[in-house]
Structure 1
């Protein structure tokens, strides 16, 4: 399992959203990298690299149990956000995972003593364009090769989870 976190300073969020929304094809309400053709993927990658964002890849591919891998990734994200002074964590909503995610996040914000300063929420991808960055980078990292190279400028850290 790979989970990708995109960090943006508040002062860059609106502009990044605007740039991402402009990349949608006619009739699209979001960018979903898996459904794009290669020429659009290349163009989107180029645009992503112009954004003022930092991306961390949480690599839990060594953990066989999917629930355990997700818990480890979410906990590591909260740990990193606590260290960075992050204020808001938005997670792509998967209705089958919301309940377990909330349990994990509840425990993690207390473990890293940020329950009063870090808010977390689940949103659908069409509600938050910055989720598209994480989706695209995750796809590119999983594909590897030239796709990985295209998003390397965005990736500030890869955290391999045990």
Structure 2
């Protein structure tokens, strides 16, 4: 079955996290609806870093019940955050090909989107159209499914209680740390 990946990032000290919520097409609409239902009146998006701890716990109790998997890619960003991101993104793209992924949606970084596009095209090879993978950058206000990797990356990077609470939706953790 084909899947879509919704991708966002987080950083903790010298570690960069790229999280990808892997969603089957039939789950797109229901998950978007449930995520929008978590918003307060007037709130446009969930950005986990900005939420208070009690609100984070409430959100996580709902998200932990979602039928979704979030894979986390982590790399050292001691030398360069952008280099760490592109390493994680290249691996994510390779992994999407392995699971018949069809769409990669990344939270927009404005002018830096071009760097992601170069990495994805490189990972797809000389004939990217033949892979069937499409990719795009969207502002997270417009795509609630981008809130899932934001939540997962933040929690995984925070460790302890937060990592434990997000565990039900974490699929794999791919460590790309340099030896």
Match of 1:133 in 2: 148
TM score, norm. by length of structure 1: 0.94
* 8 Å CA contact 1:82, 1:114 repeated in 2: no
| Matched positions, count | 161
Match of 1:68 in 2: 83
CA deviation after TM superposition for structure 1 residue 46, in Å: 1.2
CA deviation after TM superposition for structure 1 residue 65, in Å: 1.9
TM score, norm. by length of structure 2: 0.85
Correspondence list, 1:1-162, <5 A = 1-61=16-76, 64-110=79-125, 115-116=129-130, 117-161=132-176, 162=178
Q: Which moved more, 1:62-71 or 1:116-125?
A: 62-71
Deviations 1:49-103 (A, max 9, x none): 1212111110112663222211111101101110000110000001142111111
Unaligned runs of 5+ in 2: 1-15
CA separation in 2, counterparts of 1:140 and 1:115? 35
Q: Secondary structure at the match of 2:91?
A: helix
* 8 Å CA contact 1:93, 1:122 repeated in 2: yes
* 8 Å CA contact 2:121, 2:128 repeated in 1: no
* 8 Å CA contact 1:3, 1:138 repeated in 2: yes
CA separation in 2, counterparts of 1:120 and 1:30? 22
Q: Secondary structure at the match of 1:7?
A: strand
CA separation in 2, counterparts of 1:66 and 1:115? 29
CA separation in 2, counterparts of 1:88 and 1:36? 29
Q: Secondary structure at the match of 2:148?
A: helix
Relative distance call for 1:11 and 1:87 in structure 2 (3 A) is same
Task: Name the structure with the higher strand share.
Answer: 2
CA separation in 2, counterparts of 1:77 and 1:63? 21
CA deviation after TM superposition for structure 1 residue 115, in Å: 3.5
